[in-house]
Amino acid sequence: MSYRVTKLAEGLVVPSEPTPTGNLPLSSIDQTPGLRDVMVDSIHVFSHGVEPAKVIRDALSKALVPYYPIAGRIVKHDDGEMEVACTAEGAWFVEAVADFRLEDVNNLERPLMVPKEEFLPSYPPDQKGLIFMFQVTQFRCGGFSVGIISSHAMSDGLGAAQFVNAIAEMARGLPTPTVEPIWCRDAIPKFNPAKLPPGPPPILTAFDFQYSISDISSDTINEIKNAFTSETGQRCSTFDVITAMVWRARTRAIGLEPQVDVNLGFAADTRHLLRHLLPKEKGYYGNCVYPMSVTASSGKIAGSSLVEIVGLVREAKKMLPTKFAKWMAGENEEDPYKVPFDYGTFIVADWNRVGFYEVDYGWGEPAHLVPFNDSRFIGSCIVLRPPKPKQGVRLMMLCVVKEHSAAFSDEIMNLA
């Protein structure tokens, strides 16, 4: 059976009231090469909604008043610096309808039965520097999805979710967002993040990573947390446990020589380290992230207990204040965004606590999220919540090639 999505209308949604004009600077963190040219794609699935496209479009127009920079355009200057031109041109919005029900396509759980492009807005050819784009797709069952493409230069995950939650609040009839948006990117001192080297980009090896999804129960996670506390006298987080589990499972499955290094990467939130610079109130929606990494030999990770690997992850996290301060002071010897693009490198991203699961346009929170990190150069794992009423976490993984899929699946199954 073929499934069809028809895009009924598309165009710019402008702020519902006049907004300030002029150019606003992006922070040095916003402009790091690892963020500045990245667009983040995700699909948010809801089980019920009444005329969701109309409701969300109207709410977006209202939310773009306090969040007026998002209605502008990102501009690049000759020296490479980026700013936001507050032009009030608007965010791109697409209304679509599907001729099938969510249950016909496994509720849009991955692997998708319909190409993701059907549920994401297409880039308009005549628009440059767009910051946010939306597509609301209504399904025959009454459910709907919101496909979002956003600029990482404008916001990290927490900042993007803050804006989307503001839209949801407007949709529910609130006159103003609960969290007042704060710009103040110039409060973060200017520093010189590593520039992209001159000349053509390096040629990278693409891997035919295979998709896999696994649910890890709360009981399993708590068992490892308790073991860690018992052995070390310290506490650890769910993220620490999940990261250790998947890193060891993957390392064992891919079977590199024991002396070969494997690399783990994850983004750390640095808002708590910027409190002396940013206003005390919540609301800053710029990037506050720093890439952390752990490197160890394949043999060490494959042969260690989960408690030992959780310890390695926690040791890396303890270094965050020092490394972040050095980076902002320009004292780092190495660019933290420069990671080996090889099969031994693996990154973990946590979408659990970002704020997208709390979005409610008036008909309840999302049934689930479908983020996309489709890089074929570095293995990745995205940590999500499993569909209700399951407890624990869902792992969306794109990190091993076909010949290692069975071994990786076995390793994960032994943990779950």
Distance separating alpha carbons of residues 391 and 22, to the nearest angstrom:
47
Helix (H) / strand (E) element for 250: namely helix 238-254
Query: How many Å is the Cα radius of gyration of the chain?
Result: 22
Distance separating alpha carbons of residues 136 and 120, to the nearest angstrom:
8
Residue 360 bears catalytic tag: yes
Q: Could you tell me whether strands 144-151 and 368-372 are parallel, antiparallel, or unpaired per DSSP bridges?
A: unpaired
| 314 within 8 A of 234, measured Cβ to Cβ | yes
If DSSP states are collapsed to H, E and C, what string results for 139-183?
CCCCCEEEEEEEECCCCCHHHHHHHHHHHHHHHCCCCCCCCCCEC
Distance separating alpha carbons of residues 51 and 56, to the nearest angstrom:
9
Strand-pair partners of 75: 83
Distance separating alpha carbons of residues 346 and 250, to the nearest angstrom:
9
Dig out the tokens for 24 from the structure.
């606003």
Query: Tokens 């499972």 label which residue?
Result: 249
Other beta carbons less than 10 A from residue 107's beta carbon = 18
List for the chain the helix, strand, coil content (%; round to 5).
Answer: 30, 25, 45
Residue 152 bears catalytic tag: yes
Dig out the tokens for 169 from the structure.
């609040």
Q: Which of 44, 152, 368, 404 is catalytic?
A: 152
Other beta carbons less than 10 A from residue 124's beta carbon = 14
Distance separating alpha carbons of residues 298 and 309, to the nearest angstrom:
12
| 204 within 8 A of 376, measured Cβ to Cβ | no
Residues annotated as catalytic are 152, 360
